[in-house]
Each structure stands twice: as C-alpha cells, then as structure tokens.
Structure 1
C-alpha cells in the first residue's frame, strides 16, 4: 500500500522568485530614474534567474502548492528594492507604502512557512 504524498513548498522557487522580483524592480528603476547608473548585470541577473526558474517549473511535476508563496516572494523582492531606493534617494519620495507591503508580505510568508501543514523541499 503506497503512502499518500504530502505536498511540498519548493524553497528554490521562493529564492528564484525573490531574485526575479529584485532584479525586475532594479531594471525598471534603472531605466526610469536618472540618479541610478546603467549596469548590464541587472539584466543578466534577470535573464539567468528567469531561465533557471522556468527550468525548475518544467522539471517539477507537482508545483501547485508553491505558486502562492512564490508570488509572495516575488512581490517581497519588488517592494523591498523600492524601499531600498527610497532610503538611498530620499528625494524620490516616501517609501512608507513599500516598507509596509514588504513587512506584511514577509509576515504572511513566514506564517505560511512556519504554521502551514506543508513540507519543504530544497
């Protein structure tokens, strides 16, 4: 008799989604804000992380359980870079919304990982 499989949240998904969010926000900021200097490494990071994330998506067969936490990690990356820019360049405006959304999403993700009835796979 086979044991039922317990769904697992892939920590690789969360890591790559966070990196994609950071690099996408950095690309957008670099193209729209004059104070930030151009660097091709941000685009290289975005390309490589999206490429590897797509490979993980294709390779893993049961990945429905990792989608919501991965979206949370993606938005944490986007809003945390926006908050970092607000701290680094205060003339750009307030970063209260970015900091608040980053904290709310981080608390939600930690709650989901700690108290959810899921297991994790590396």
Structure 2
C-alpha cells in the first residue's frame, strides 16, 4: 500500500461502528425502537476487527481523518434512517445534509488525496 492511500477497510469499519453505536444509543433513548441484541454484537465485532486493522496499519496517517468522517457519517445516517421511519421524532434534514456533505468530502479525499505543492 502506498504511503498516501486511504485504507478502504478503515472507511468501512468506522462507518459500521458509527451506525451500530447510534443504533445502540437509540435503543435506550427512543421509545419506538424495540430492543435488539444485534447492534451490540455488530459494535463489538466491528470494533474488534477495526482494532486489528489499526494495529497492523498504525503508520497509515492518510486514513485517520476520512475514518473519523465516515464514523460521523454512520452516526448521521442512522439518525436520518430513524427520522424517516418515525416522522413524529422530527425532521431529518440536518442529518441528511451533514451525511451528504461529509460523503462528498470523503469522495474528494479518496479521489484526489492531499496534494502538497512546493513552489
């Protein structure tokens, strides 16, 4: 792997961690959502696998910011999903807007990366 490439494994696992973390919190805070053990299992397994990738690729500095962004994308995506399922909870405009903005930023970084120009 080249020094400046973004790891797809980091992107996928941080997105799944964000989704499952928000699902776990929503189970306890939103009364319409029924209890399920699967978000907790998903959170445990994805954190375990992500930690293994992090240990093996600890020098991959290019993936840190996009990984944080996809973590928050996962959180906002699940918020938008619950807002679409239960409209009485309120608008999901902010969640959808932030997800789209963060997704555009990640795609830009993935396609073009960090260009450091020297004069």
TM-score (norm 2): 0.91
The answer to whether the 8 Å contact 2:5/2:113 transfers is no
User: What residue is the counterpart of 1:47 in the other structure?
Assistant: 44
Kindly report the root-mean-square deviation, in angstroms, between the aligned alpha carbons of the 2 structures.
1.3
Unaligned 5+ runs, structure 1: none
Match of 1:82 among 65, 76, 79: 79
Matches within 5 A, 1:1-122: 6-116=3-113
Instruction: Give the number of equivalent residue pairs.
Output: 114
| Residues in 2 aligned to 1:92 and 1:23: alpha-carbon distance in whole angstroms | 19
Following superposition, the deviation at residue 117 of structure 1 comes to: 5.2
Distance 1:59 1:32, change over 3 A: same
Higher relative contact order (CA 8 A, sep 6+): 1
TM-score (norm 1): 0.88
Distance 1:71 1:61, change over 3 A: closer
Q: Quick check: 57-66 or 90-99, which moved more?
A: 57-66
